Amino acid sequence: KNEVEQSPQNLTAQEGEFITINCSYSVGISALHWLQQHPGGGIVSLFMLSSGKKKHGRLIATINIQEKHSSLHITASHPRDSAVYICAVSSNTGNQFYFGTGTSLTVIP
């Protein structure tokens, strides 16, 4: 069983659509991270959050600690948002990171 589950695995959207990617986890965490992996392979950190909501440009991340669930939203999606989005959690019981398998997003012009 994976400690971190993401849905959907693949997502295709039209430019301008509102996009939601979901992440559920089963371990106690100190923080949850959203990462973006570009087609070339590079990985960048988008958000780190332990409660509530964070916003950066068109990206919004929320977390519900009680439900062990997080969502990543993209407003007014654009083709340049096409990437793999990875949810990861850092465990609060040790120095462990657990990663989801990623959501592959394609935004069509």
Partner 1 sequence: DADVTQTPRNRITKTGKRIMLECSQTKGHDRMYWYRQDPGLGLRLIYYSFDVKDINKGEISDGYSVSRQAQAKFSLSLESAIPNQTALYFCATSDSRQGSDTQYFGPGTRLTVL
Q: Are 16 and 76 in contact (CB under 8 A)?
A: yes
- Least separation in angstroms between CB 99 and partner 1: 4
* Piece of the chain touching partner 1 by CB under 8 A; list 11-19, 35-43, 59-67, 71-79: 35-43
Secondary structure, 3-state, 65-108 = CCCCEEEEEECCCCHHHCEEEEEEEEECCCCCEEECCCEEEEEE
- Among 39, 41, 57, 109, interactor with partner 1 by CB under 8 A: 41
The single residue among 11, 72, 88, 105 that binds partner 1, judged by CB under 8 A, is 88
Residue 29 and residue 90 in contact, taking contact as beta carbons nearer than 8 Å: yes
- Binding site residues, partner 1, CB under 8 A: 2, 4, 30-31, 33, 35, 40-45, 48, 86, 88, 90, 95-102
